[in-house]
Amino acid sequence: MLGGPLLCALVGVLAGPMTLAGQQPVDSLRTELARLTALVDSLSREVARLRASGDSEGAGNALARLRAAAATAAAAGGEAARPSEQEEFVGRERSLQSLNPEISLNADVMAHLDPDDVGSDPFFWREFELSLLSALDPFSRAALFISRHGDGPEVLPFDGGDEEEGDAHGGGGFDIEEGYVEWVSLPGGIGLKFGKFFQRFGTLNRWHAHALSFQSRSLPHVALLGEEALAQSGVSVSWLAPFGGGSAGTYEATVEVTRSENETLFGEARRATVLAHVNGFWQLGGSTDLELGASWLNGRFQDEVESFDRNAYNAEFAFNWIPPSRSRRTGLTLRGGYMMLDGLGAEAQPGGLPVAPGQDRGSAGGFWSMADLRLSPSWLMGARFDRVQDPSNPDVTQWLASPTITWWQSEFVRLRAEYDFLSGIEGGDGTGMFIVQATFAMGPHKHSTY
């Protein structure tokens, strides 16, 4: 290895003859030799430092690695491998956490003031719902909703609330509201659902209780279908039409074949039921849209006295005005519809006797309407008005009026104050109830309306 003095001497020897040939070549050579001198001095100092260190073995290893790297660079033409050209280590282990389903808990708790029942416990919980959602693969997903319902004061038509309530802090035990697997990427715009699910009998029937705009479903729904959503086990096939879009409309058709499990509609029958639903959506402008839908459900009612076919119909609309630039501060949603049950039981017939086969059994129906006005990002004001016939006596009707004020603390927490006034039967005095409702969501599944 050449030291600094030796290189300087060499520069002095070479500089003399070359000065005669020209000053510029000599200057270039001097510059290059000065660079080499500095490099050699730096390497000499590094070697001396390594040798003087206390860890001679570590220094020897470091020097060996330095020499090996220099030899490799020389063999490769003087260029060391760039970091970008080095192979990156990638672990091939499976991330088990990514396979876990999304787990959420939704709760619905209430406090009420009933002037006709001042001695009752004013606080009760209505529902706790545990949901598990998972994308199984790019083509299918699964959902499971397990709920526990509590008993408490509710506004029910036609003296439905006079039944024994039970423990206000107890409930009817755990129940599987929905549990299904769904295929979402089938060719031709086809969707397939298999299991137990909220049926497509209108839009609001698919909403869970904690997502409703009011503390209960519409009066026609409660009187004709029962207090809970129409949920049965079977298969659902939907088709999204490939034509339309925007102002031309988007169209969907659904056919569901299920086993009859709704006792209000089908009694003790356990036969197949068929549901058909069509839906259209139009974008009327930058701020407004309109949705229309119609449903038909056919099944057979059976009990110890009689057995007959039964049909249920539903038609509804939804109108939204939401200015895009002010969507968080203002907006209006109007919903309404008509529901009818065709084929009434013996209790609705003259004398309360079964009718002959083929004889008209009569029908009962009712309409519902609701509105939500957004006042600010957190505050909404709402109102609804419903009217329905008694399916056990179509000559009797009741109506329900409910104003509400809702405060969304966040997308996870909602507080609502509501007053429900239910008219009396046959012109009698009505009943009113003031309710404060709190719903909250733990996890990704919030108060979804779709």
Q: Would the pLDDT of 11 be above 50?
A: no
Q: Where are the domains of the chain?
A: 1-49, 102-350+361-442
| Region 397-414 average pLDDT | 94
Neighbours of 267 (CB within 10 A): 20
Neighbours of 275 (CB within 10 A): 22
- Phi–psi pair at 159, nearest 5 degrees: 60, 25
Higher pLDDT, 114 or 411: 411
Among candidate residues 378, 382, 293, the one with its CA nearest the CA of residue 334 = 382
CATH architecture of 102-350+361-442: Beta Barrel (2.40)
Straight-line distance from the first to the last Cα atom of the chain, in angstroms, rounded to the nearest whole number? 80
Q: Would the pLDDT of 309 be above 50?
A: yes
Q: What does the pLDDT read at residue 79?
A: 47
Higher pLDDT, 27 or 307: 307
Residue type, 333: T
What pLDDT, in 10s, does the model give residues 321-337? 999 888 889 999 999 99
Q: What does the pLDDT read at residue 124?
A: 84
Whole-number percent of the chain with pLDDT over 70: 79
DSSP assignments along 64-116, one per residue: HHHHHHHHHHHHTTS-PPPGGGSPPP------GGGGSPEEEEEEEEEEEE-TT
| Region 403-432 average pLDDT | 90
Q: What does the pLDDT read at residue 89?
A: 53
- Residue 438's pLDDT band, with cuts at 50, 70 and 90, is very high
Higher pLDDT, 178 or 100: 178
Among candidate residues 344, 337, 338, the one with its CA nearest the CA of residue 395 = 344
DSSP assignments along 19-61, one per residue: HHH-HHHHHHHHHHHHHHHHHHHHHHHHHHHHHHSS-HHHHHH
Among candidate residues 367, 403, 369, the one with its CA nearest the CA of residue 385 = 369
What pLDDT, in 10s, does the model give residues 180-231? 999 987 899 899 999 999 999 999 999 998 899 998 899 999 999 998 999 9
Q: Would the pLDDT of 374 be above 60?
A: yes
Burial call 190-225: b when 16+ CB within 10 Å, e when fewer: ebebebbbbbbbbbbbbbbbbbbbbbbbbbbbbbbb
- Residue 156's pLDDT band, with cuts at 50, 70 and 90, is confident
Q: Is 319 helix (H, G, I), strand (E, B) or coil?
A: strand
Rounded CA gap, 36 and 34, in Å? 5
Q: Would the pLDDT of 71 be above 70?
A: yes
Q: Would the pLDDT of 96 be above 70?
A: no
Q: Which residues make Cβ contacts (< 8 Å) with residue 79, sequence separation at least 6?
A: 73
Rounded CA gap, 295 and 315, in Å? 6
Q: What does the pLDDT read at residue 168?
A: 39
- Residue 62's pLDDT band, with cuts at 50, 70 and 90, is low
Q: What does the pLDDT read at residue 359?
A: 77
CB 386 within 8 A of CB 219: yes
Averaged pLDDT of the chain: 83
pTM for the whole thing?
0.74
What pLDDT, in 10s, does the model give residues 115-136? 666 667 788 888 999 999 999 9
- Residue 98's pLDDT band, with cuts at 50, 70 and 90, is low
Top-confidence range, 171-175, 402-406, 441-445: 402-406
Q: Would the pLDDT of 17 be above 50?
A: no
DSSP assignments along 108-172, one per residue: EEEEEE-TT-TTS-SEEEEEEEEEEEEEEETTEEEEEEEEEEPP-----TTTGGGS----TT--S
